């Protein structure tokens, strides 16, 4: 009985510590990391530090958040004072040591298993042992990533949808080692960010991309085979199936390089059913990544 009381007390103190997360680190100043940081500050009211080794990315991140908040002011959604407070809670750094005081860290870098693994190993000498480390991976095994972190029980998947300030869903993916405390704290943080959560088993692609990426890949295959033009394929799915946008437009918005990375993970783990379309591979090899660099299936004026 005495041991149970002590265990309960330790758990309650542990949970209170984590449920009062004050500082959140975001790794990656790209589209996803920037959106995550904005919502953490604006909706959840958290102090956030965005870390990216590329200073130019940090400058773009600040500019993007500022422009988004300015639009909200113009639309009457927030006041100028709110904009000031939101930006005040966000800091930017190209030094990984800036993450050391974070209670919770969300990694949102390139969708590459080797690069993410290297990052997790580096974070072992930076983060506190009590820090929860969440990955925004859209397909890579959380269990595998966690094996490279000092406290695998504190690692979890937190898959945000793009654009983060608009999309309401966050997929939460516990790994094999993830503790129930880490899971509960992550769900609570997502709730404070105004998000709806779903839970997925730690399988390649999780729920969203296990279903979405084969759809996009098949649309690319249809284009590759000449089944229809880009416009015909997208219009058919929009007006015939009531999709908000066509699959090829969506692929451009996500990033063809990201789509290919996810398909490669699915293919490697689940077999030839998920083999990437040759056209998708060819476009990525040609540097056609989609809207983010001006050319994908469609061309965009930058």
Q: Residue 215 sits in a domain of what CATH number?
A: 1.10.1040.10
Residue 298 resides in a domain: no
Please confirm, yes or no, whether 209 is among the known catalytic residues.
Answer: yes
The Cα 207–Cα 161 span in angstroms is 12
Residue ranges of the annotated binding site for NAD(+) are 28-33, 52, 111, 116, 138, 162, 292
Instruction: Supply the CATH number for residue 64's domain.
Output: 3.40.50.720
The residue annotated as part of the active site, out of 107, 141, 159, 217, is 159
The reply to whether 79 and 102 lie within a common domain is: yes
Q: Which helix (H) or strand (E) holds 196?
A: strand 196-199
pLDDT given for residue 37 in this prediction: 98
Q: Are residues 195 and 214 in the same domain?
A: no
Query: Which candidate in 138, 139, 141, 217 is catalytic?
Result: 138
Give the structural domain span for 255.
209-293
Is 31 in the same domain as 159?
yes
Does any domain span residue 91? yes
User: Rounded to an integer, what distance in angstroms lies between the CA atom of residue 264 and that of residue 276?
Assistant: 7
**Out of 41, 154, 171, 264, which one is annotated catalytic?**
171
Q: Indicate whether 176 belongs to any domain.
A: yes
Is residue 301 in a domain? no
Cα-based torsion angle of the residue sequence 137, 138, 144, 145 in order, rounded to the nearest 10 degrees:
0
What b-and-e string marks burial along 157-180, b requiring 16 or more CB atoms within 10 Å of the CB?
A: bbbbbeebbeeeebbbbbbebbbe
pTM higher than 0.85 for the full model?
yes
Whether 171 is catalytic is yes
Pair 5, 132 in one domain = yes
pLDDT at 301: 77
Residues in the chain predicted with pLDDT less than 50, given as ranges, are 1-14, 16-18
138 among known catalytic residues: yes
Annotated binding site: 28-33, 52, 111, 116, 138, 162, 292
- Number of domain units in the chain: 2
242 belongs to the catalytic site: no
């Amino acid at each position: 009985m005495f041991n149970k009381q002590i265990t309960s007390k330790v758990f309650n103190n542990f949970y209170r510590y984590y449920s009062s997360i004050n500082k959140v680190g975001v790794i990656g100043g790209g589209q996803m990391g920037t959106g995550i940081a904005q919502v953490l500050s604006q909706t959840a009211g958290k102090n956030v530090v965005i870390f990216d080794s590329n200073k130019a990315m940090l400058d773009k991140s600040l500019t993007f958040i500022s422009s988004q908040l300015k639009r909200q002011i113009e639309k009457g959604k927030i006041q100028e004072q709110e904009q000031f407070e939101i930006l005040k809670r966000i800091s930017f750094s190209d030094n990984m040591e800036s993450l050391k005081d974070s209670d919770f860290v969300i990694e949102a870098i390139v969708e590459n298993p080797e690069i993410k693994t290297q990052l997790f190993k580096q974070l072992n000498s930076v983060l506190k042992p009590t820090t929860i480390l969440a990955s925004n991976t859209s397909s890579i095994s959380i269990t595998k990533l966690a094996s490279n972190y000092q406290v695998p029980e504190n690692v979890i998947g937190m898959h945000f949808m793009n654009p983060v300030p608009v999309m309401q869903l966050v997929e939460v993916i516990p790994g094999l080692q993830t503790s129930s405390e880490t899971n509960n704290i992550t769900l609570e943080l997502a709730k404070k960010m105004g998000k709806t959560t779903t839970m997925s088993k730690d399988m390649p692609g999780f729920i969203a991309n296990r279903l979405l990426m084969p759809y996009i890949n098949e649309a690319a295959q249809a284009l590759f085979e000449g089944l229809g033009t880009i416009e015909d394929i997208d219009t058919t799915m929009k007006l015939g199936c009531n999709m908000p946008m066509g699959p090829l437009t969506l692929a451009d918005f996500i990033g063809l390089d990201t789509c290919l990375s996810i398909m490669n993970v699915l293919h490697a783990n689940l077999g030839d059913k998920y083999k990437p379309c040759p056209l998708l591979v060819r476009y990525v090899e040609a540097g056609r990544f989609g809207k983010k660099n001006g050319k994908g299936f469609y061309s965009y004026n930058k």
